[in-house]
Amino acid sequence: MRRTVLTLLAGLLVTLTACGGSADGGALHATELDPPFQASSIALTDTSGAPYSLTKDADADLTLVFFGYTHCPDICQIVMGNLSSAMTRLDEADRKRTTVVFITTDPARDTSSVLKTYLSHFDPSFTGLTGDLDDIVAVGKPFAVGVSQGDKLPSGGYDVTHGTTITGMEPGGKAPEFWDQDTSSAQFASDIHELLNP
């Protein structure tokens, strides 16, 4: 199956890989975007079965958005573990102002209930989203995150190709920074505090 094309946005080439990619940060560990990304208003479905739009329903002062899937053998679990650990490093005030949204890139297998169980192993407060693959692709595009289902594997399953950046978003969907897959929990926590307390 054809892989999703690479997207050149804001002078940055975010590489589409099967769990790979990187970027360099400036004063923050994040890469700052000028102009910022702007989230899609397309509604997906959260773990309770309700519609959820990044522009209308993500109302925390800082929302960290990551695209991945529950069968991902490596990077997704590392990133989610680092995000979970970062939340425990924050003080109560910063934690209340921050949320994490995990958008599946494998909606055929990642139903709302599967996502709920998966996220409970990291942080039950994290929001999981699923939906039609076309809608997920459209939601990823403004963040320069490509998504596609790869070739069938000898085991009978299939690979899922997706970008591995974590996007920082403000209420209303403006997204002025992103992190790469190698960002540590300490780096996430430091940046979250700085972004919330400029």
Q: Which pLDDT score is estimated for 157?
A: 52
Q: Which pLDDT score is estimated for 53?
A: 98
Paired tokens of 7: 């997207």
- For the chain, the domains span 37-62+96-198
Mean pLDDT of 77-90: 96
The region of weakest confidence among 24-28, 49-53, 101-105 is 24-28
DSSP string, the chain: -PPPPPEEETTEEE--BBS------SSSSSEEEEEEEE----EEEETTS-EEETTTT--SSEEEEEEE-TT-SSHHHHHHHHHHHHHHHS-HHHHHTEEEEEEES-TTT--HHHHHHHHHTT-TTSEEEE--HHHHHHHHGGGT--EEEEEEPTTS-EEEEE---EEEE-TTSEEEEEE-TT--HHHHHHHHHHHH--
Q: Which pLDDT score is estimated for 163?
A: 72
Mean pLDDT of 160-184: 90
37-62+96-198: in CATH 3.40.50.11540: no
Q: Which pLDDT score is estimated for 159?
A: 56
Residue 185 pLDDT > 90: yes
**127-130 and 98-104 as β-strands: parallel, antiparallel, unpaired?**
parallel
Q: Which pLDDT score is estimated for 147?
A: 78
Q: Which pLDDT score is estimated for 6?
A: 31
More confident residue, 15 or 101: 101
Mean pLDDT of 47-63: 97
Residue 25 pLDDT > 70: no
Q: Which pLDDT score is estimated for 129?
A: 98
pLDDT per residue as tens digits for the range 28-38: 899 999 999 99
